[in-house]
Structure 1
Amino acid sequence: MAARAGTTVKALPNTVIVKPKNKKTAAQPKGSLTLKTKKNKLPKKDKGKERKKKGQFLNKGKKVKKLTQDKKSKPTTASYFPYFEDHYCPSNCSCYGRVVQCSDKNLEKIPYGIPYNSRYILLMNNHIDSIQMNLLSEYTSVEFLVLTNNRLSDGTIEGAFEGIPNLKRLYMEKNLLQSIPTDLPGTLEELRLDGNQVSVMSEAALVLCPNLLILSLSNNSLGNESSTISPGVFLPLGNLRTLTLSYNLLSSVPLQLPLSLRELYIRGNRIQRLQGDIFWGKAELQVLDLSANRLTDKGLGKATLLNASRLESLNLEGNLLKQVPRHLPRSIKILNLESNFISSISKDAFISMPQLEHLGLARNKITKVAHGAFRVLPLLHQLDMSHNNLRQVPRQLPLWLHSATFTHNKIRMIPRDAFCWGRGNGSPLSRLVRVQLEYNMIDLGHLDTLAFRCLRGFQVVQFY
């Protein structure tokens, strides 16, 4: 209660008299006093003990809380060996998204700790010589597995790929395999075994992969004296699109290939002739590479590519041909005949190839080209006759030709009707963009300027 004026007020025990603030408040009339009770003070030693005790209690509470949280974070389902979190990554590897990059790490086995939800597992350029049994079958999400350039052999991978439910692409180039694994999953769409020692083709191995689209077996030992590829061994691959058998020891193209095949690469073998029963029926083949073999004129008979009526690109570079092959499919758009022994081009050499767009005749021994031999190619865009023995530019080149290369010949003369010819006195404007005539014997002082009358500018022709 408020004290009367002139009255003495005795302070109560543990009470401090506080002078009123200048600020007026409704609850505190002017001139009144406020009584504030002090807290009981403890000795300094006791106070320190209390703080220490309080801190211990708080720390204990934090530990209990942390243990409780850890307990909750543990998986509720029973873990199987080994158990990994989705975000886990093996030491020395790099993981991003669902890709595990463990290449070039000097690994001797598949590392422990690859997450089970991984889609791409990259293990190339290591020293892996075996795959633990049933290890890969736990990876139900993996689609792409790369084991290129390791030390895997037939015995050390037996049963390793069985039971992988979603594997689509398997790369095992540059290992020590002598045959195709016989436990590949049926989901596989691409298999690359280049640079191994494969010499045996087993139908039992391929029958398990009906969905295979790409099979690459280059740089192996297929076709050696002790083994041959049986006819029809690739037939179980009813969906196969691309087959690569380059740089083996094949003396012939495998027979009875799948009709679904669109690209066939057999470069760098020992093939001397093509047999007529490569395909049993109309094939989908569009690209055929037979370069760097031993094909002769007789090795390309009438029935050779009879069923390849959709063939667009044919590479016969580096063989033993002495003339332009006849009886090729009319569908061909790209023909490479470079580095053969062709000495002349007859007038009807290309009469059965109305779709031809690109023609390579470089590095042959051509000295003579019949008048108008290329005139029958209405769609020809690119012609390369460099590194031959031509003494003049061929006459009546197609007016729709875009690029013509005649470098490194013995050309002395350019006929008036080489680039410019047509009905009547005038010649239609040529579509040539580039004519290369470097490294020849042309005397620029005696050039017939009328030979270039239909060109769009002298910059089109290059003499130097």
Structure 2
Amino acid sequence: MLPHYSLLLLLCVVRLHSPSSALPFEQRGFWDFAMDSMDSGGMMMMMRDEEGSGVDEFQTPDMPTCPFGCHCQLRVVQCSDLGLTEVPKNIPQDTKFLDLQNNRIMELKEDDFKGLTHLYGLSLRNNHISKVHSRTFVPLKHMQKLYFSKNLLTTIPKNLPASLIELRIHENRIKKVAAGAFTGLGSMNCIEMGANPIHNSGFEPGAFKGLKLNYLRISEAKLTGVPKDLPDSLHELHLDHNEIQAIELEDLSRYKNLYRLGLGYNHIRHIENGSMSFLPRLRELHLDNNRLTRVPKGLPDMKYLQVVYLHSNNIDQVGVDDFCPRGFGMKRAFYNGISLFANPVKYWEVQPAAFRCVSNRLSIQFGNYKK
């Protein structure tokens, strides 16, 4: 039987040579939890002098590895803000979410994510990635969220996982979206690709073929008009902060499911009469910070429209039928927000009947116009 002081020394040696003592990141290791979880009775059992000492039964569990400097917990591997120049090795294969944002990674190689078949989300935001191997994402059979913003990509990466639902790839250097760029991504629901220097001509015919998107944002780009052949399944389309100058009759004809349309911060002077008739389900329309001189035609016929942003334009008058239909009961939802401030309209000349289909007077925002 070992004396008590010899047993304590042996426990310290076992702890120093256990795998957790070599973990480089600042978190509680397995043995810390194990030792803390032992109450005084458990410790007494470990140190008892009776026959069958607990030291002989003490086993070192098979602990998963964690990349140097990273923090691994509950199948989440956080390796952000470490100055990494490549994807680290020894990522646990049961990882669900891998955070590699705010590093200096320049390239993704073929085997960087090999074996990570359980990965659900991957963040590569704010790196220097300009090159992606065509088979980099092939092992990621179940990945649904990919955050690739603030990098140096010039094209959409190839062979994205068919399971992908959300792709955020804004603030890159993408100038062209080739035909079939999203082939096989039938589950995709959301794409954020704003702040890329892409013109209308940068979208090849068939670029979005096969997609059933709910949400698409192409803001802060170089668009001069509404892109053609976007997915007709869209519920939200955001084209704000572009160079769009007009909305033509056919521009919105295929987007009958839209309930939110963002066209703010463009150069729109004219919206062709009848353009809005193709959006029977629209609930929210953003046309602020443009160059409109009149309220767009067709708003009274939009039965479900509730929010219209028209502030910061050049609108100088509001007609009695600009917003509301004449017939009773034709509008299914009253307006709860109409913004007209920062326009040269003389609000005291606007007839109260112009807002007869507004829920309450606080829903109308005129404000003061200052040239």
- The TM tier, using the shorter chain, reads 0.7 to 0.9
Aligned to 1:303: 206
Cα 1:139/1:299, change in 2 over 3 Å: farther
Aligned to 1:185: 92
Distance 2:217 2:94 in 1: 32
Query: Displacement, 1:426?
Result: 8.0
Query: Displacement, 1:76?
Result: 10
Aligned to 2:42: none
Q: 2:335 matched to 1:439? A: no
Q: 2:144 aligns with which of 229, 241, 259?
A: 241
Query: Displacement, 1:459?
Result: 3.4
Aligned to 1:171: 78
Query: Displacement, 1:147?
Result: 4.7
CA shift digits 1:15-37 (9 cap, x unpaired)? xxxxxxxxxxxxxxxxxxxxxxx
More helix by percentage: 2
Q: 1:399 aligns with which of 303, 312, 316?
A: 303
Distance 2:193 2:276 in 1: 24
What is the RMSD computed on CA atoms of the aligned residues? Answer: 3.4
Cα 1:183/1:146, change in 2 over 3 Å: closer
Count of residues paired in the alignment: 337
- Counterpart amino acid of 2:162? L
Distance 1:445 1:82 in 2: 81
Aligned to 2:128: 221
Query: Displacement, 1:342?
Result: 0.5
CA shift digits 1:236-291 (9 cap, x unpaired)? 11111111111111111112211101111111111111112323424211110101
Cα 1:425/1:434, change in 2 over 3 Å: closer
Matches within 5 A, 1:242-261: 242-261=145-164
CA shift digits 1:168-200 (9 cap, x unpaired)? 211111112111123322111111111111112
CA shift digits 1:340-364 (9 cap, x unpaired)? 0001112222221122111111110
CA shift digits 1:102-150 (9 cap, x unpaired)? xxxxxx955698443659xxxxxxxxxxxxxxxxxx77567999956xx
Cα 1:142/1:115, change in 2 over 3 Å: same
Cα 1:419/1:308, change in 2 over 3 Å: same
Aligned to 2:322: 418
CA shift digits 1:310-362 (9 cap, x unpaired)? x1111111000011112111211111111000011122222211221111111
Worse-superposed segment, 109-118 or 279-288 = 109-118
Distance 1:190 1:296 in 2: 34
Distance 1:146 1:457 in 2: 59
Distance 2:282 2:159 in 1: 33
Aligned to 2:14: 80
Cα 1:377/1:115, change in 2 over 3 Å: same
Aligned to 1:461: 364
Cα 1:112/1:274, change in 2 over 3 Å: closer
Aligned to 1:338: 240
Contact 2:170 2:193 in 1 (8 A): yes
Query: Displacement, 1:301?
Result: 3.0
Aligned to 1:267: 170
TM-score, normalised to structure 1, is 0.65
Query: Displacement, 1:418?
Result: 2.3
**Bigger relative contact order, structure 1 or 2, given CA contacts below 8 A and separation 6+?**
2
> Which sections of structure 2, spanning at least 5 residues, go unmatched?
35-59
Contact 1:312 1:332 in 2 (8 A): yes
CA shift digits 1:416-459 (9 cap, x unpaired)? 4321126x688546510111111111112432444323334443
Contact 2:65 2:92 in 1 (8 A): no
Q: 2:199 matched to 1:291? A: no
Contact 1:191 1:215 in 2 (8 A): yes
Q: 2:286 aligns with which of 361, 364, 384?
A: 384
Matches within 5 A, 1:94-243: 110=25, 114-116=29-31, 118=33, 140=62, 147=69, 168-223=75-130, 228-243=131-146
- 3-state SS of paired residue (2:216): strand
- 3-state SS of paired residue (2:111): helix
- 3-state SS of paired residue (1:80): helix
Contact 1:396 1:421 in 2 (8 A): no
> Which sections of structure 1, spanning at least 5 residues, go unmatched?
1-66, 91-107, 120-137, 149-160
Contact 1:322 1:342 in 2 (8 A): yes
Cα 1:188/1:110, change in 2 over 3 Å: closer
Q: 2:325 matched to 1:325? A: no
Aligned to 1:351: 253
